[in-house]
Structure 1
Amino acid sequence: MSTVYDCSRPRERADGLTAAASAVRAGQLVVIPTDTVYGIGSDAFSLSAVNSLLAAKERGPDMPVGVLVGSWTTIDGLVLSVPDNARALIEAFWPGDLSIVLRHAPSLSWNLGNTRGTVMIRMPLHPVAIELLRETGPMAVSSANRSGLPPASTVDEAREQLGDAVRVYLDGGPSGDPVPSTIVDLTGDGPLVLREGAVKIEAIAEVLGVEVERAR
């Protein structure tokens, strides 16, 4: 049975964050507000929890799940190295609407799907999400919708699609325009934008001082 917590009410927000953190530690799923759309999340290091997330979305491992973090420094323990171009983008756009793909640290025991040794990481600009992430550590998070349906911009839309597959819903109000994050891959010879969303490719190029290509 799932529970919805209204995070506009201080006591309910505190109770909801406590319940959500407990659910994540127990390998259950939660829905959280972010600065883009609502996300469905789980413990990034629990294979069964990530499998439950994919099952709730009716999605296979061919579309890997990204990871949300609650601070800049968390990334250092998750990836093989943080190159200068990644540092520049983090300083310019985090917390915010930019997801960065890097080689993950080989010592990590996780399975986020068919990632080919990479991980997509973002720090969201939403106080509820950041507070939860600082309590739980890195979370595997995808848009809160079933595969093929529109991403949820309200908690009601998320609950309508995901139902009791999710243990805790944190209601942070409408997300605004449901624009996804921009995804930039830094694992190749140069930066490659896999998806242009809220952060425009011109802004990325300006920060890096190089030409940035779009994936074909």
Structure 2
Amino acid sequence: MGFDGRDRGAGEGQLQADRQAEVAAAAEALRAGGLVILPTETVYGLGANAADPAAVAAIFEAKGRPRFNPLIAHVADLETAARIAVFDDRAHALAREFWPGPLTIVAPIRDPEAVCDLARAGLDTVAIRVPGHPLSRAVLAAFGGAVVAPSANRSGRPSPTTYDDAMAETGDKAAAHLDGGPCAVGLESTVVSVLEGEVRLLRPGAVTRVQLQQIVGRLAEAQDDAKRSPGRLALHYAPDAPVRINAKTPEAGEAYLAFGPWPESPRVFNLSPTGDLAEAAANLFAFLRAADRIRPSAIAVAPIPEEGLGEAINDRLRRAAGYVG
């Protein structure tokens, strides 16, 4: 089961008055160069004005993030995206199908001032998307420009999928913060590059390979374009405890992330008792964090099928375990 770009979800209507005040405060904080804890359907982000190098530098400092790793620019709509990046027919087709939603498109930069050089890691391309969470889109619309918003965790740590986890990680660095509830997807966005030649899949996510191929045909692999995507470090999304993947059973002292039917235990965190990949994706980072809190000798993870969302789940698990996916 993957993300359907036509399912925009609840919450598209009028925001309540208290939400409107929070949105206005967040937009003002961004204009002032501050950082904002921002909910999306994928994970919670730590947002800053993409055009402000000092604000972007504050994100790197708050996260301890390597500066060669580019950030994703979030915008309110396709029209804004097309003013910032050069979109060909394939990019437009992908955006119309999957936006708002968990797809990031890497395209040539059109307006370098809209997303500063530091946010793009010095590249001539920009990674851009329209998020699916109505609260984040409301902030983006009120702000009026692009907001870079990497996951609101310290670099290398599991991404936060709840407001409390985001606040625990980097909340003390934020001038404003919005609680949008648990993230519906729970994995970072799929990233594709739409440059010369074939469309390349740089990072798997909730928009699956099959869904992408239905729009643009065959996908090439990352190769040299991998540097244009965030989330490509070998050790990424890692808890403090070492991670052991494809473990059919846990060993003594380990916590266990099960998948499918498994006996209940205080040291077992079942990603999906029914073997549902969408449920497993939504639970992955929260359960890695929960398992880490019991201070196990390691976190063992059950085998996850590679098809559909399993490709993205296994990518994150391989990186948590210290392997390049």
Query: TM over 0.5, yes or no?
Result: yes
Q: How does 1:9-28 map to 2 (within 5 A)?
A: 10-28=16-34
State how far apart, in whole Å, the 2-side matches of 1:197 and 1:118 are: 20
1:163 aligns to 2:191 (yes or no): no
State how far apart, in whole Å, the 2-side matches of 1:84 and 1:14 are: 36
Tell me the secondary structure at the aligned position of residue 150 of structure 2: strand
Q: In the alignment, which residue of structure 1 is the partner of 2:63?
A: 57
Q: In the alignment, which residue of structure 1 is the partner of 2:139?
A: 132
Asked whether the 8 Å contact 1:61–1:113 carries over to 2, the reply is no
Could you tell which deviates more after superposition, 81-90 or 176-185? 176-185
How large is the Cα RMSD of the aligned pairs? 1.5
- Structure with greater contact order relative to length (CA < 8 Å, sep ≥ 6): 1
State how far apart, in whole Å, the 2-side matches of 1:12 and 1:202 are: 40
2:95 to 84, 90, 96: 90
- Amino acid in the other structure paired with 1:127: P
1:114 aligns to 2:121 (yes or no): yes
Return closer, same or farther for 1:160/1:34 CA change in 2, 3 Å cut-off.
Answer: same
Q: Which has the larger radius of gyration?
A: 2
1:37 aligns to 2:43 (yes or no): yes
Tell me the secondary structure at the aligned position of residue 210 of structure 2: helix
Tell me by how many angstroms 1:96 deviates. Answer: 0.6
Q: Which runs of 5+ in 1 are unaligned?
A: 1-8
Per residue, is there more strand in 1 or in 2?
1
Return closer, same or farther for 1:106/1:77 CA change in 2, 3 Å cut-off.
Answer: closer
2:208 to 191, 200, 210: 200
State how far apart, in whole Å, the 1-side matches of 2:121 and 2:39 are: 26
Q: How does 1:203-214 map to 2 (within 5 A)?
A: 203-208=211-216, 210-214=217-221
2:75 to 66, 69, 78: 69
Return closer, same or farther for 1:95/1:177 CA change in 2, 3 Å cut-off.
Answer: closer
Tell me by how many angstroms 1:177 deviates. Answer: 4.5
Asked whether the 8 Å contact 1:64–1:113 carries over to 2, the reply is yes
State how far apart, in whole Å, the 2-side matches of 1:139 and 1:34 are: 12
Tell me by how many angstroms 1:107 deviates. Answer: 4.9
State how far apart, in whole Å, the 2-side matches of 1:135 and 1:69 are: 11
Asked whether the 8 Å contact 2:41–2:186 carries over to 1, the reply is no
State how far apart, in whole Å, the 2-side matches of 1:113 and 1:56 are: 18
State how far apart, in whole Å, the 1-side matches of 2:193 and 2:122 are: 12
Q: How does 1:156-195 map to 2 (within 5 A)?
A: 156-195=164-203
* 1:103-161 deviation digits (Å, cap 9, x = unpaired): 10255261214242110000011110111101112111111111111111111101101
Identity %: 35
Q: In the alignment, which residue of structure 2 is the partner of 1:4?
A: none
State how far apart, in whole Å, the 2-side matches of 1:51 and 1:107 are: 17
Return closer, same or farther for 1:113/1:83 CA change in 2, 3 Å cut-off.
Answer: closer
State how far apart, in whole Å, the 1-side matches of 2:181 and 2:45 are: 13
Asked whether the 8 Å contact 2:187–2:206 carries over to 1, the reply is yes
State how far apart, in whole Å, the 2-side matches of 1:60 and 1:107 are: 21
Q: Which runs of 5+ in 2 are unaligned?
A: 1-14, 224-325
Could you tell which deviates more after superposition, 107-116 or 30-39? 107-116
- Amino acid in the other structure paired with 1:179: L
* 1:175-208 deviation digits (Å, cap 9, x = unpaired): 1342111000112311000001001111111111
Asked whether the 8 Å contact 2:189–2:204 carries over to 1, the reply is yes
State how far apart, in whole Å, the 2-side matches of 1:173 and 1:23 are: 21
TM (norm. structure 2) is 0.61
Asked whether the 8 Å contact 2:37–2:171 carries over to 1, the reply is no
Tell me by how many angstroms 1:77 deviates. Answer: 1.4
State how far apart, in whole Å, the 2-side matches of 1:46 and 1:106 are: 14
State how far apart, in whole Å, the 2-side matches of 1:73 and 1:89 are: 14
- Amino acid in the other structure paired with 1:20: A
Tell me by how many angstroms 1:162 deviates. Answer: 0.6
